[in-house]
Amino acid sequence: MIYLHIPFCKQKCSYCNFHFSTSFRGKDDMLQALKKELRLRKDELENKTLKSLYFGGGTPSVLTGDEIKGLFDEILKYYSFADDIEITLETNPDDLDAAFVKELASTPVNRLSVGTQSFFDEDLKLMNRAHNASEADASIKRAQDFGFENISIDLIYGSPTSSLVMWKENLNRAVALEVPHISSYALTVEPKTALENWVRTQKITAPAEEEQNEEFYYMCDFLKNNGFEHYEISNFAKPGFHSRHNAAYWQYEPYLGIGPSAHSYDGGSRRSWNIANNALYVKNLEAARLPAESEILKEKDRFNELLMIGLRTVWGVDMKKLNDSFNPEIVHRFSLDVESKINEGILRVKDNRLVIPEEHWFMADGIASDLFII
Ligand code: SF4
């Protein structure tokens, strides 16, 4: 599978610490550099038939239809697409006007991830999103009118501008739109963001954990009652609409990450990541150099990652895989900790898989890190 990072956004959302630029001046050079990286790394993936292709960012929907088609042309020089390939493009509601959606519908993109976040203007203003509440709604309907069925929307809960009543309404609106996939995250105060600055200078109050907790569990019940499977802490899908791209990450399949800040994984113990700087990325590619660093994961790092990722999902961690793939001493130490957590009811073994019961999912990262091998 391939991930393509499009590092441009119209404006900076107040909570975001991803890599992107709000200046589009270098867009053409960036597109050339992305194509060059695809060419230089064309032999890295053994499997030349792609099951998943993901345009993420940044905001890939700031590209024109022709620019997206140009990237497809380059990709198709080196790979073919599996019949059931999932091709996702992240979009923002303000970009999804009729002309752009029509263009998109003429490309191989077959899944849209829409950065809706909220259907309330007060939330969107605090988040400094480029769209308003009416665009949030209209953009999804428009995409559906042009034939996109496989749509995921992102929603953020726990904003200081929101309340449980508003959150319930957000979920009602999402369900009424009949989208088959929802990704939902708690508003988090990340370092070096406007949100952090506002909290520090007491311009706003920090998101309250108790409220986030309440909204999270309300969402779990509500979406389950509306036909969604809660398959990962932050992800809910109607049957047959799990994100295959994310599922492949969680199952440790190899992937190629193209673009500034993109990460790659060889399926074994090597990870690499590109430089998170647009100008330097382009400059290096112009000189046919790959601006990447890499690391070889130690056994304990692989073990801890497997726990961290697996315990966030409904599939949990495969105990047989742990026993078969890791040093028995590591597995033994881990088993002792697991036993006490099972006695506390925080962990459960189901079909030889270690899972966190859903009622403890809000604390999953803490539970997994308690089990880390250090
Ligand atoms: S559009 Fe997405 S990537 Fe861009 S600033 Fe907002 S949250 Fe971050």
Average pLDDT over residues 133-157: 97
Looking at residue 325, its pLDDT comes to 87
Q: Which residue's structure tokens are 């497809």?
A: 72
Q: Which two tokens stand for residue 286?
A: 């112009």
pLDDT tens digit sequence for 219-248: 999 999 999 999 999 999 999 999 999 888
How far CA 345 is from CA of 143, 251, 355, 359, in Å, comes to 44, 26, 11, 10
pLDDT band at 322 (very low <50, low <70, confident <90, very high): confident
Testing ligand 1's pocket by substitution, the residue of 13, 22, 159 carrying the most ligand atoms inside 8 A of its CB is: 13
Mean pLDDT of 287-306: 94
Indicate if the pLDDT at residue 250 is higher than 90. Answer: no
d(CA 75, CA 53): 10
Cα distance between residue 228 and residue 223, in whole Å: 5
Q: Whose alpha carbon is nearest atom 3 of ligand 1?
A: 58
Ligand 1 atom closest to residue 15's alpha carbon, by position in its atom list = 7
* Angstrom distance (rounded) from CA 37 to CA 259: 8
194 lines ligand 1 (CB under 6 A): no
Residue 328 Cα to ligand 1 midpoint, Å, equals: 43
pLDDT for 38 beyond 90: yes
Please indicate whether residue 3, judged by its CB atom, sits closer than 6 Å to ligand 1. no
Please give the mean pLDDT across all residues of the chain: 95
> Is ligand 1 within 6 A of the CB of residue 300?
no
Whether the CB of 231 sits within 6 Å of ligand 1: no
- Determine whether the shortest distance from the Cβ of 60 to ligand 1 is under 6 A: no
Residue nearest to atom 2 of ligand 1 (CA): 58
From CA 202, how far away is CA 199, in angstroms rounded?
5
CA of 249 to the centre of ligand 1 (A): 21
Taking the C-alpha atoms of residue 336 and residue 209, their distance in angstroms, rounded to an integer, is 31
Tokens read off for 329: 């001493």
The atom of ligand 1 lying closest to the CA of 58 is 3
For residue 224, what pLDDT is reported? 97
Query: Of the ranges 63-72, 108-117, 284-293, 354-363, which one carries the lowest mean pLDDT score?
Result: 354-363
Taking residues 266-275, report their average pLDDT: 94
Surface-to-core class of residue 46, CB atoms within 10 Å of its CB (0-12 exposed, 13-18 middle, 19+ buried): exposed
Given a contact cutoff of 8 angstroms between Cβ atoms, the answer to whether 43 and 57 are in contact is no
What pLDDT is recorded for position 282?
98
Q: What is residue 337's predicted lDDT score, i.e. its pLDDT?
A: 87
How many alpha carbons lie under 13 Å from residue 23 in its C-beta half-sphere?
Answer: 6
Q: What is the pLDDT of residue 232?
A: 94
φ/ψ of residue 179, rounded to 5: -80, 145
Residue 59 in contact with ligand 1 by CB distance below 6 A:
yes
The Cα–Cα gap between 242 and 257 comes to 21
pLDDT at 264 over 90: yes
Q: Residue 181 and residue 113: Cα distance in Å, rounded? A: 9
Confidence of residue 205 (pLDDT cuts 50, 70, 90): very high
* Atom 8 of ligand 1: nearest residue by CA position: 16
Whether residue 57 has its Cβ less than 6 Å from ligand 1: yes
Residue labelled with tokens 């709604």 = 137
Tokens of 17: 């610490």
Ligand 1: residue of 15, 20, 187 to mutate (most ligand atoms within 8 A of CB) is 20
Q: How far is the CA of 226 from the centre of ligand 1 (A)?
A: 29
SS3 45: coil
**Sign of the CA dihedral 41, 45, 47, 49?**
negative
DSSP 208: P
- The pLDDT of residue 172: 98
Task: Say what the pLDDT of residue 73 is.
Answer: 98
Type of residue at 226 = N
Q: What is the pLDDT of residue 69?
A: 98
